Structure 1
């Protein structure tokens, strides 16, 4: 009854993650640290200071809005991807724990119908989680 879980298979692949997967991981790591915040704050300060060099106030505003919009879109996509991966990993761990608990209950439930019922209900609940 030995079955390899999705998480175990992924761990087995190890370094064979795609370049995009590694990029998302590094981007999430960098974006969540203080230096990234200070770089963003520096860009805003530089934009504010640059006002005298712009002849059109509207173009000055459009410049920061365009850059911020594009940058925000890219970051949202990357961070959502990272969040999805984290959620899937957590769900896989919970499913493995539930499966182990169900197996433990089933092995102990030989003479106890209440435990047998609990193990069956737990297995049904775990089976409802369709992933990937």
Structure 2
């Protein structure tokens, strides 16, 4: 079932959301100071392509620098990517088949707002 949902996700919205994250990552990598943001953006782009079967967990070793970085990310890129997920999720929820995909898009909003200090892991190995 995850494979089917991932393929539907990729075709309907995953490719475009991944492009948005990749563009944000390229812009961040062009500015040398924001390379950590670019790396985080590329990680999320990978997650945006194939989200089902993976989950997001807090990294316990993340400290104050990631919190400060998340504030900067929120202002410059996070809010725009979160709006993209919100609009995509609403559009997907207009059909019965798109409801699980819309919910997945809504679940990606927190990582699009604050990507630093989080890890993307396989849902089977995630500690609950």
**TM-score, normalised relative to structure 2:** 0.28
Larger relative contact order, structure 1 or 2 (CA cutoff 8 Å, min sep 6):
2
The structure with the largest strand share of the pair is 2
The structure with the largest helix share of the pair is 1
